[in-house]
Structure 1
């Protein structure tokens, strides 16, 4: 990656900063798996380490999914749509269904791919609530984070989820039938003018620069790691059984050997390979010894510098320390940059 691809690209800057300063909207549809049946709750409570049984109808929860070695094999959002009906939002639905099939036979549960039934628009930023309220029939003033509600736009049935992948306090997702997409898009475009809304068109902004500033991962950052190494253990229910629990308890007892840390890098014209682009990532050196690899690397328009994550040996660095990445001098930071 070359820093100037971001720094000097005014389109990228405009789209990124619209989300941070006003509101940006974009088409961004994940795959959706619907899970239902008499034992849907018990089934998902076994599959995921975070609690599913105490999730209220109309609420959502982020959770990892582990294999028997306690390695993260997916990270998803689980929506409880009805008492025994759930949506799981993922980017890897085929792998998800294959994994669920390993445990399905013991439960009265069915699941199906409903990805083609819904499309999704993300509306993110400080003025996103204003824009959403301008287009929906029932305002979202009292809608809490990670809740999903039925609503209408110009008489069209939609579902509004308060959430997103940008780290903004106010962000919403509009789930709509494919045949109604064009109407919703035009509504966002027209009503958004009053709120300085910008359509985000660059996937590098949606997927790299915005999420990285907020400390969010992609699955490629999480491959072959466990929740304790990457700080995703909050919310794990250790009092229930879940796939990977025994191995994760052993890791917890001994302590993880690696950790994910943030870093910044000031130089221009930087070329660094990160794990999220495939491969092992560029080595990170401290006092002439390799201590880790670059997991994610992008540019922050808010900080006006390169930022990223390093998967490194536990307790080898702390915020403020300097490490070498190729010939570049990088400074260790927390993972959340904004």
Structure 2
């Protein structure tokens, strides 16, 4: 499948890859350059491959049953992040639910899970209507410290007053848009939804952002940015064998609500925990599946790893025994060697 901006990526000489069936840009100028540009200036991401479902009707309590977080805590024009669990407490997906009003919601899901999630949600929403609008809506992310300046220059009123995880419905370049103060980078930024036929918005944002140093950003830098910011990648860090209590997502589990998987999560003993790690003695990067060792014994596994352009060293996430504290020295197997590493927080970067 191709995003609405496929031709734009080719014009910008992006290196394209297959990503869960979508032809998407992995990089333009280079991952490290793009990463630093988002941290220091602003970047433009095509994330139209993310799944988008509209749910309408008397469905709020049914959506609550699907998620571990508490949907009653959000008002109209507000969004909430949450895992969606199966009956065993395993994570089916991590999603964002946006509330327009008590009868209208938009759910954004990971592109790898569109069919699975749609079937799961449809099966558990007994009344109300659910529609897959993935191909009807383009989705662009504008991320970095200069993102707000661009939307101000575009004439988006009160954008400076929009709080994190809130959204507005506004016109951008004459096109109806949903502009949400959300992102996947650890920077300030926005995600912009609009009719997928209105492809001119991509170039308009690049034009408006030129004086702020904007660059298009591929999936490669998107991954290193989210890794530094302590954000999970579905399929690597979390999946249906992992619970939110084992991942660093305990804050999203509200046991005072009712949701699928609650009973198991209340009763299941947590024996492993996701931690961050850093490697200081080599520039070699640990990847998913590499092993963690302690005193010669295999004790855990790497779920994500990369070189951190901000910290200048290899970092990643791993599952280790629950009792392993931050600061503990470990060994990380890369190839046929083991390198000295240290357990740290999963949050490597805070703006």
TM-score (norm 1): 0.89
Map of 1:260 onto structure 2: 274
Query: For the structure 1 residues 250 and 177, does the alpha-carbon distance in structure 2 shift closer, same or farther, using more than 3 Å as the test?
Result: same
- Find the residue that maps to 1:68 and give its secondary structure: coil
Map of 1:225 onto structure 2: 242
Query: For the structure 1 residues 16 and 132, does the alpha-carbon distance in structure 2 shift closer, same or farther, using more than 3 Å as the test?
Result: same
- Stretches of structure 1 lacking an aligned partner (at least 5 in a row): 1-8, 275-280
Map of 1:93 onto structure 2: 114
Structure 2 residue 128 is matched with structure 1 residue 109: yes
Deviations 1:272-318 (A, max 9, x none): 430xxxxxx11110001111000100111100111100111111343
- State which of 180, 196, 206 in structure 1 corresponds to 2:198: 180
Map of 1:236 onto structure 2: 253
Structure with the largest fraction of helix:
1
Deviation at 1:126, TM superposition (A): 0.8
User: Does the Cα contact within 8 Å between 2:97 and 2:106 map onto a contact in 1?
Assistant: yes
Query: For the structure 1 residues 239 and 160, does the alpha-carbon distance in structure 2 shift closer, same or farther, using more than 3 Å as the test?
Result: same
- State which of 214, 234, 247 in structure 2 corresponds to 1:197: 214
TM-score (norm 2): 0.85
- Stretches of structure 2 lacking an aligned partner (at least 5 in a row): 1-27
User: Does the Cα contact within 8 Å between 2:285 and 2:307 map onto a contact in 1?
Assistant: no
- Find the residue that maps to 1:323 and give its secondary structure: strand
User: Does the Cα contact within 8 Å between 1:70 and 1:244 map onto a contact in 2?
Assistant: yes
Residues in 2 aligned to 1:308 and 1:137: alpha-carbon distance in whole angstroms: 38
Deviation at 1:42, TM superposition (A): 1.1
Residues in 2 aligned to 1:317 and 1:286: alpha-carbon distance in whole angstroms: 13
Structure 2 residue 55 is matched with structure 1 residue 35: yes
Deviation at 1:54, TM superposition (A): 3.3
- Find the residue that maps to 1:227 and give its secondary structure: coil
CA RMSD of aligned residues (A): 1.7
Map of 1:131 onto structure 2: 150
Deviations 1:260-281 (A, max 9, x none): 011112354625430xxxxxx1
Query: For the structure 1 residues 233 and 64, does the alpha-carbon distance in structure 2 shift closer, same or farther, using more than 3 Å as the test?
Result: same
Residues in 2 aligned to 1:17 and 1:34: alpha-carbon distance in whole angstroms: 35
- Find the residue that maps to 2:193 and give its secondary structure: strand
Report how many aligned residue pairs link the two structures: 314
Structure 2 residue 188 is matched with structure 1 residue 157: no
1:1-338 alignment, distance < 5 Å: 11-29=30-48, 30-38=50-58, 40-91=59-110, 92-104=113-125, 107-168=126-187, 170-182=188-200, 184-200=201-217, 202-206=218-222, 208-220=223-235, 221-223=237-239, 224-251=241-268, 254=269, 256-268=270-282, 270=284, 272-274=286-288, 281-325=289-333, 326-338=337-349
Query: For the structure 1 residues 117 and 165, does the alpha-carbon distance in structure 2 shift closer, same or farther, using more than 3 Å as the test?
Result: same
Deviation at 1:320, TM superposition (A): 4.5
